[in-house]
Amino acid sequence: ADWVQNFVKHLAAVRPDTPPKTWMELTDFIIHSGAEYWAQTQNTLRVMPRIRSNAPASYKAAVHELSDCLAHLYERYFDIPDIPEWHSKLGFATQLVDFAYSDAVRRDGKISDEKLKQAQVLCKTYFGFFLPASLKPRAARRISSIA
C-alpha cells in the first residue's frame, strides 16, 4: 500500500535534532515520529488495521518493510550485536505499536500522549529483553552513510 511505503520513507528520513545517546532514546524518537505521521495522515489512520484484517499477507509484507526500516534506523546510530531473529523482534514491536495506535484511534479518535508513552514503555521493555542497556554508538562518519 502507498501509505505503508510513505510511512517507511517518513521513518527513514527522520533525524533527531541530536544523535540519540541510547537505543531507548532512539526508540522513543521513532515511536513519537510514527505517531506524528499517523496524525498527519488522519484520513488513512485505519489503513494498517484494515490491511491486518482483510489482507493478512499484505500486512505481513508491510510489517516486514517497516522492520527493515527500523533495522536501518538502529544501525544508523548503534552497533547492534548479533541478536537471533532481530528482524522478527522488530516486526513484533511494529505490531505492538500498530495495535496500540489502532486501539487509541478506535477509542479516542487520536493517539493521546498517554497512549504514546504506553507504546514507548512497551517497546523499550520488550527490546530490553534482547538489547544490552548500552550500545556502542556508530562513528559519525558512518552514520551519514547508512540510509
Model confidence over 20-74: pLDDT tens digits?
999 999 999 999 998 988 878 766 655 566 666 666 677 788 888 999 999 999 9
% of residues, the chain, pLDDT over 70: 82
Confidence grade of residue 114 (pLDDT, cut at 50, 70, 90): very high
Of 44 and 142, more confident: 44
Whole-model pTM? 0.84
Report the pLDDT value the prediction gives residue 136, as an integer from 0 to 100: 94
Count up the domains in the chain and report the number. Answer: 1
DSSP 40-57: HTGGGTTHHHHHHHH-HH
8-state DSSP, 85: T
Domain range for 73:
2-143
pLDDT surpassing 50 at residue 94: yes
Report the pLDDT value the prediction gives residue 58, as an integer from 0 to 100: 76
Instruction: Compute the distance between CA of residue 114 and CA of residue 116 in angstroms, rounded to an integer.
Output: 5
Residue-averaged pLDDT of the chain? 85
Return the residue matching grid coordinates 529483553: 129
DSSP-assigned beta bridge partners for residue 78: 137
CATH (domain of 23): 1.10.357.10
Tell me the three cell numbers of residue 20.
540519540
Confidence grade of residue 143 (pLDDT, cut at 50, 70, 90): very low
Tell me the three cell numbers of residue 34.
510514527
User: Over the Cα atoms of the chain, what is R_g?
Assistant: 15
